[in-house]
Amino acid sequence: MKKFITLFLFMFIGAQASAADLEELAKYAKKPMYTSAKISPDGKHLAVRTYHEGEYVLAFMETESKKLVFTLIMGGKESVGNYHWVNNERVVVSLLTETGALGVEALTGRLFAINYDGSRREPIFSNNHNGDVGSTSKRKTFSGYGTVVDTLDGDDDNILIMVRPWLRARHQEQRAPELVRLNVYTGAQKRIMKSPGRGNRFWLDHDKEVRFAKGTVGYDDTLLYYREPGGEWGDFPFDIDVDFAKDKVDVYGFSADNNKLYYTLFDDGDNGTLYSYNFKKKKSSKVFKSETAVISRMLYDRDRVPYGIKIDEDYSNYLMFTKKVPLANVHQILYKSFKGDSVDITSTTQDGSTVVVLTHGDRNPGTFYLYDTVENKAKFLFKSYEWLETKELSAMEPFRFKARDGVELLGYISLPNNIDGKNLPLVVMPHGGPRARDYWGYDSHVQTLTSNGFAVLQVNFRGSDGFGENFMHMGDKKWGTEIQYDIIDATKWAVNSGIADANKLCIYGWSFGAYSALQSSIVEPDLYKCSIAAAGIFELEAAYDRGDIPDSAYGADYLNEAISDDEKTLRSQSPYYNLDKLKTPVLLIHGSEDDRTPIEHAEDLASRLEDMDRKVETLFVDDEYHGFRIESNRVKANKKVIDFLNQHIGG
């Protein structure tokens, strides 16, 4: 009897679901209503990025009264991405495509400018190959992808942008970008300089002198270029041993007086050490080194002066490394006040008297405040997800354990509310990538599962990003072996800790997590009771022929490094060729327009499982990508997942 269940059957079953069930699932499938808020230099207005009727728009409001002044709606296939106040009236917006190549919003490289009252709205930088600024202008521009580099505080008319030229052919390496001064009212341009090498980054000091540029050479090598003000490009005079054949350097910026440079040295693949370099003394001093994770983010004041770092080891944490920057003291006060949550400062007024604060954590998807630095008072603005209540959300707790070979790994466990936390049905959720990582914080997939009675385990297995290149490369050519051992060992940790019921385990993931859902179930056939794979790849050889990775300049180099080019190795680690060892029922979810892992991966696997008379269900959705972009489709997928879990491990 065939077990192949089609989307049509799912649609029939889904129609029987109660409205309350779908409404509950929809809460976690919605995009945030408010994603960003930034205050004008004079503090009189806020620019708030919101999600409205399927697109991101920019709402301008009076700071004191929150009265709406104007809403920028781009319409068509573009919407509002990142944005910057240039002066008290004008904002420059980086535009998004409706969907990127992987089904997520992606910046287009086009720039648009507008006053907060809606006046003088026009495109100021177009990346059209014909060089036009916009449909109504024939002004010649540098053709390419535009990114804001500096808003030039004190210059109300101009900003600096970097323009990355278009690639001329498939598989072409990046070309050297240009640094351009751009008038935010007229779109007039003035070339500043061309980068000395291929790449995509410039660094300026506080006199607006270009001091550093980064270039790429080949697949994974970088070059760092340095110049004195007004000088020629050369090498930076490091006083510590730096060998670019094996080391990498990230530059963060300069102290306010330009006498110190902050940079991180990644020594032969470690997780990096933060240094400050004193130009007068020509000496580097160690500022910080984590034994676990790389620095997640540098913290800056409105003048781009570094003052601290965010580090994500177990929970998120902050370190302020200087007291000379006033915002460092403000940030420290805020972090202590909002105990347990991450605290980001999105913007400040020119005089520093008012800052916009975003707090977020596992049970706080995002809350915005106005903070008066003089009176030391915070005023609530709005919540990113107004329909979610803290009391409804589950806590996420970090844990550490040692894998079978002694490697220490970091994971997170989330439990349903109002239970004793023992012998629970557990969903193991490996992340995508694999060169990505899980963080402590709000996760819509996790909350969907815990709200339906399932505990959720996530683990940063070897091969994950964020813990240094040595740890990341531990997963190379071991996708189907040691990475899966880490996932399996984390699952057994949860069982041995008494959290999970050994008879109620399921594994569920997207992208690489989908691959792992099948591969872990093959490596350890009796461990899991079901496997759910969304947007996955199941035949590793096909990665060289299908999808968008082979189309990139160094796609083949990445694949050779990450998964091998040896046929025996690839087949031994491919679920498709080892289905005889698989015992679990399988649910496959995939979008028809997925360009990273085309739907043929799932269709071929489903057909093979059907031919073997194995239990397989599918949800194949038209016009969806590597991540489902349409809310109703995310709800359908979540409903299918919950039904499947209830059937096999019971919530």
pLDDT band (50, 70, 90) for residue 137: very low
Burial of 257 (0-12, 13-18, 19+ CB in 10 A): exposed
Determine the pLDDT at residue 171. 55
Average pLDDT over residues 445-463: 97
pLDDT at 172 over 80: no
Element (H, E) at 586: strand 586-591
All structural domains of the chain, each given as residue ranges with its CATH number in brackets, are 7-27+389-648 (3.40.50.1820)
Pick the closest to residue 507 from 325, 649, 331, 357 (CA basis).
Answer: 649
Distance CA 13, CA 18 (A): 11
Determine the pLDDT at residue 421. 85
- pTM, two decimals, is 0.91
pLDDT at 428 over 80: yes
Q: Where are the beta strands (DSSP E) in 385-445?
A: 396-402, 408-414, 424-428
Distance CA 180, CA 189 (A): 6
Average pLDDT over residues 17-27: 72
Summary mean pLDDT of the chain:
91
Tens digits of per-residue pLDDT, 543-559? 998 888 888 878 888 99
Q: Are the CB atoms for 216 and 164 separated by under 8 Å?
A: no
Determine the pLDDT at residue 169. 60
Which amino acid is located at 443 in the chain?
D
pLDDT band (50, 70, 90) for residue 135: very low
Determine the pLDDT at residue 175. 82
Determine the pLDDT at residue 132. 41
Average pLDDT over residues 53-57: 91
Tens digits of per-residue pLDDT, 200-252? 789 999 999 999 998 887 777 788 999 999 999 999 999 998 887 778 999 99
Average pLDDT over residues 360-386: 97
pLDDT band (50, 70, 90) for residue 90: very high
Determine the pLDDT at residue 166. 80
pLDDT at 168 over 70: no
Distance CA 76, CA 80 (A): 12
Element (H, E) at 64: none
Structure tokens at 172: 């072409």
Q: Are the CB atoms for 623 and 629 separated by under 8 Å?
A: no
Q: Are the CB atoms for 313 and 297 separated by under 8 Å?
A: no
Pick the closest to residue 433 from 564, 634, 596 (CA basis).
Answer: 596
- Among 159-173, 303-317, 495-509, 583-597, where is mean pLDDT lowest? 159-173
